[in-house]
Amino acid sequence: MAGILAAAAYVPFFKIERAEMGRAWGIPSLPGERAVANSDEDSITMAVEAGLLALQGRSPEQIDILYFATTTPPYAERQCAPIIAAALDLPHQTVTADFTGTTRAATLALKAALDAVQSGAARQAMVVAADMRPGEPQTTWEQLMGDAGAAVIVAAQAPATIRAFTSLTGAPLGPWRRPQDRFVRSFDARVETEYGYVRTTVEAAKGALEKAGVSPQEVSRAVLYTPDFRSPLEVAHRLGLERRQLQDPLMMTVGNAGAAHVLLVLAAALEEAQAGEQLLVANYGDGADAFVVTLEGEVQRPPDRPTLAQLLALRRSLPNYGAYAALRNLAGREGPKASASPVTYWRDVAMELRWHGARCRACGLIQFPIPRVCRSCGARDQLDEMPLSHRGTIYTFTLDHLYAGEYLDTPVPRVVVDLEGGGRVFLEMTDCDPKEVRWGMEVETTFRCLHEWGGYHNYYWRARPLRIHMPRR
Amino acid sequence: MAGIRDRVAIIGVGCTKFGELWEKDQEDLLVEAAHEALEDAGLSPQDIDAIWVSTFYDFTGQSGGTATEPLALFGKPATRVENFCASGMDAFRNACFAVAAGAYDIVLVCGVEKLLDQGSRGLPTAAFHPSFLAASAPGIFALAASRAFYQWGWTKEDLARVAVKNHRNGAAHPKAHFRRPVTMEDVLNAPMIAWPLGRLDCCAVSDGAAAVVITRPEIAKDTRHKDDYVLVKANALAVESIQPYYRSGYDWLGFPATRAAAKMAYEEAGIRHPRKEISFAEVHDCFTSTELFNIGDLFLVDDPKDAPKFVADGLADIEGEVPINPSGGLKCFGHPIGATGCRMIYEVTKQLQGRADGLQVRNPRLGLAHNLGGPGAVASVTILARRD
């Protein structure tokens, strides 16, 4: 049966204790911490991280569809999925679409992906979801939200089958954001919780369980959309689920990851679940989606990829609210301005997004950027484009204090990296303590937004200490 | 290659005070340097047949008009040269070829850069690709210094000794930007710019201009400096990869462009043992570590990793075996990019003539000037000697 072949989660390196946020504003704080995207991360880059992890050990050639789900697309006009598809090095023929406008976007994308593989229209379809919902400063929203990404690959035959997909469309009651709004807006949360979230989610979940012929007692794990700490418990109660049946909603460690939340928690559940388990998944947002996942086997995870629990342990706490405000640029600081040409960007997409170099047919040297004339033997136009490894070793480096104004970490480590299997590149490092940078240090590439020169997002790769074990290729 | 040995003579040099010259623009600087050189040669502006002018940044000046306009020398052939930080010496090289070829009799070479109008916080970046290259100048050269720390065991102290030596020299030079001696502690405690380079390991952002008047030796014999004009013994340029970051296998231990240019220049000048034959050198110490690499790349030590010992032993001091940067170098003059190469020719010429503005090298015979540009990518080496 159709279902999930692979799943992966991505959570940013930085976290902030909610107590720091409460302290900064003199308001009560929620318990735990939330994940905070670095200043060079956005929903596209987090989707790429999760997508690369899900693809580990798999051929991108099998992926016929890529759907991207988010409520925070970095572009209002310009589809995001093709950028993600290129960074994942998916084939040019991949069908892409963005699902947005609601936190339910990921399960709506999943439904479309399932329909496609079930109908035979696609061999494998990938859904990547990532979100960094802007919570208004000095409110609970700011503490509740957490930035994260998740990805699943679905196929007609898969170990985690998806059954009884049930969808309900909802009335306009939940949170909203107009184009001119900087932060998520909402009405009195109690109204939405009862008439929106709880009632709609329960109805959809009940429908799915009935359709699948699964009793509440048979549910081993319930993966619920979690807008806050308390209301999922009410959903569970009305569904006849006990608290122990609830999968950790990751509110103490990540926060509400918006459109990515349910896939994130599902990815965590699939890491722990064993064959024979029945999972209930329910998502919410302008309606609700619910389905049952039956584990006919286990969803395989490459051995060197960290589990979500391990990923959460690879972290750094922001020292204070100021550091968080700097990452989100709440002060509205203007960074260095320079021009950039969309044409240059477009022309070099194979290098910038796909992370391709070239190998000289005459002398074998792997080179980046891709030249016309081999920089070693001088052969012309004999360079075959090829994917570069996402892992390498630092040959030399500096810690540059100039032009560092945009980053949390000053200085900026700039590193010359010898990639595994060949090719030498020059990258900036991110998500690291500059003091730990050393010659010979193992690093991996991470997809980031470098700057906004030219008024568009300049996505490219940075290096970080080998941490998440990105694919070698 | 036939070369231009002994076919070009320097008959006049000029140089402005270098520094943060807020009240002057490129026109002031260029006029002051060029007129000083012409006065030194005993010539008037109208005697000039052609001009080569160097500026690196377009905001300082584009086209030969950068020189003809302020000098009010309309209708003359004038060309702007840009070749990274070696622009000044490459303008000199191109002008030398014109003179050696007999195309012109009297040629003015001048270089100028007006950096401070853009602010003093490092060089304005000119990233030519929005993704692949965005490093500061210290960040680029630090990549090499860093590797030498790892592979050769160089230390911050090794770098600091270069700064102390050059500041000792520069303190005596009336045209230098910085005229204050510094101590090892000053250098070691300076704020970090790009590890391992601290603020006093870096040359400053400065304004300035320099100019040189050249002709053929047979004409020089009838000029004011007929007894002490300076002959060009060699001038070589080498351009290596301008994207060394991406060169697989590049060891980052020195700059191959300098080695290539030095070999060409030594051959042209007939120099076999540079350390024995070169009396002194003005080298491109954009950073203290770069001076150490230059000492190796110019073959002044047998093993390039021993350059710090050469400096520590005092061999690069004004009284040493091969005084390096008797002017104080870029460390004390700063680096108004288009001007630096011409400023080096100015300094070496005056040293050879025994009329150095600052500390005078004792009885120099052959003087070397070395200008390095980009990420160690463009190197120019000039060797000069006083007429016999």
CATH architecture of the region B137-203+234-386: 3-Layer(aba) Sandwich (3.40)
**Token reading at B124:** 């304005």
Q: What is the pLDDT of residue B2?
A: 78
CB-based contact B143 A416, cutoff 8 Å: yes
Rounded to whole angstroms, the Cα distance separating B290 from A126 reads 51
CB-based contact A368 B246, cutoff 8 Å: yes
Torsion angle, alpha carbons of A28, A30, A31, A33, to 10: -120
The confidence band for A401, taking pLDDT boundaries of 50, 70 and 90, is: confident
Mutate to test the interface with B, among A396, A417, A452 (most CBs of B within 10 A): A396
Query: Is some CB atom of chain B closer than 8 A to the CB atom of A410?
Result: no
Domains of chain A and any CATH numbers:
3-327 (3.40.47.10), 342-465 (2.40.50.840)
Is residue A378 left, alpha or beta, with left meaning phi > 0 and alpha meaning psi from -120 to 50?
left
DSSP one-letter string for A20-69: HHHHHHTS---SSEEEE--TT--HHHHHHHHHHHHHTTS-GGGEEEEEEE
Chain Cα centroid distance, residue A288? 22
The confidence band for A404, taking pLDDT boundaries of 50, 70 and 90, is: very low
Query: Is some CB atom of chain B closer than 8 A to the CB atom of A345?
Result: yes
Catalytic residue among B167, B284, B335, B370: B335
Q: Is the pLDDT of residue A336 over 80?
A: no
Query: Which has the minimum average pLDDT: A26-35, A307-316, A418-427, B108-117?
Result: A307-316
Residues of B in contact with A454 (CB under 8 A): 130
φ and ψ at A114, to 5 degrees? -60, -45
CB-based contact B246 A424, cutoff 8 Å: yes
CATH superfamily of B9-120+206-220: Thiolase/Chalcone synthase (3.40.47.10)
Query: Which has the minimum average pLDDT: A74-88, A333-347, A428-442, B96-110?
Result: A333-347
Residues of B in contact with A397 (CB under 8 A): 143, 146
Listed by start position, the domains of chain B span 9-120+206-220, 137-203+234-386
* Residues 6+ positions from B101 with CB-CB distance below 8 Å: none
Mutate to test the interface with B, among A426, A427, A451, A457 (most CBs of B within 10 A): A426
pTM: 0.94
Residues of A in contact with B131 (CB under 8 A): 345, 348, 352, 450, 458, 460
**Token reading at A265:** 């928690």
Q: Is B335 labeled as catalytic in the residue annotation?
A: yes
Consecutive H or E run containing A445: strand A442-451
Query: Do A83 and A128 touch, CB atoms closer than 8 A?
Result: no
Of the CA atoms within 13 Å of residue A205, those in its CB half-sphere come to 28
Q: Is B167 labeled as catalytic in the residue annotation?
A: no
Mean pLDDT computed over every residue of chain A? 94
φ and ψ at A19, to 5 degrees? -60, -35
Could you say which DSSP state residue B232 is in?
Answer: E
Chain Cα centroid distance, residue A117? 23
Work out the minimum CA distance from B376 to partner chain A, whole angstroms: 15
Rounded to whole angstroms, the Cα distance separating A289 from A140 reads 26
Nearest to B64 by CA among B77, B75, B49, B46: B77
| Beta-sheet pairing, B192-195 with B280-282 | unpaired
CB-based contact A398 B139, cutoff 8 Å: yes
| B260 three-class SS | helix
Q: Is the pLDDT of residue A437 over 50?
A: yes
Percent of chain A scoring above 70 in pLDDT: 98
Is ipTM > 0.85 here? yes
Q: What is the pLDDT of residue A408?
A: 39
**Token reading at B10:** 């320097």
